[in-house]
Amino acid sequence: MLRPASAEDLAALVALARHPDVAATLSTRAADTLTAESAAVLAIEDRGRLVGGVCWALVNRRSRIAEVRTLMLDPAARGRGLAVATIRELAARLVHDHAIHRVEAEVYGFNGRAQRVFERAGFTREGLRRRAYDRAGGWQDGVRFGLLAEELIDNRRCNR
């Protein structure tokens, strides 16, 4: 279940984003941007417990493009498909409730697990930003993902 993060959630999510395993896979500013006013932060809840978070931002108002950022789950909550369900639900909300036309995300090239999550959630791998980030002791690729509103509707029809 996804819900707006409360102040209490935010403190727990900042701590999760700073956990070394998680921090290594997020942008260097992720923990700080969680508390920035521009970020829409959602808490991921499972059986009444906070297990992670995800953010989104409107990156182009005229063309109605949103970007998904800072997807993270507590290590104990991983491997159960929660991340895929979260991205599917967030994309559906962005399209249906916020009239978003295109949802984007970027994942480090070394983060195969997160790439698989976006693929399983119906996103298309749209491109590779080669050696874009100075991270983890070397230059890392950024893998770009995109999902169009009409694809979300088509995917739903196919999955029925």
Ligand X SMILES: CC(C)(COP(=O)(O)OP(=O)(O)OC[C@H]1O[C@@H](n2cnc3c(N)ncnc32)[C@H](O)[C@@H]1OP(=O)(O)O)[C@@H](O)C(=O)NCCC(=O)NCCS
What's the half-sphere exposure (Cβ side, CA atoms, 13 Å) at 155? 16
How far from 97 is each of 24, 73, 144, CA to CA, in Å? 32, 24, 24
Nearest residue (CB) to ligand X, 22 versus 94: 22
Find the residue with minimal CB distance to ligand X: 112
Q: Is residue 71 involved in binding ligand X (CB under 6 A)?
A: yes
Q: Which residues in 118-157 contact ligand X (CB under 6 A)? A: 120
Packed helices 82-98 and 112-120: angle between N→C axes, nearest 10 degrees: 50
Q: What one-letter code names the amino acid at 20? A: P
Q: What are phi and psi of 122, to 5 degrees?
A: 100, 5
User: Strand 138-148 relative to strand 40-46: parallel, antiparallel, unpaired?
Assistant: unpaired
Q: Which residues in 94-123 contact ligand X (CB under 6 A)? A: 107, 111-114, 116-117, 120
Nearest residue (CB) to ligand X, 27 versus 35: 27
> In the stretch 27-66, what mask flags binding to ligand X with x, by CB under 6 A?
----------------------------------------
Residue 71 CB, nearest approach to ligand X (Å): 5
Residues found near ligand X in the complex (CB under 6 A):
22, 25-26, 71-73, 78-79, 81-83, 107, 111-114, 116-117, 120
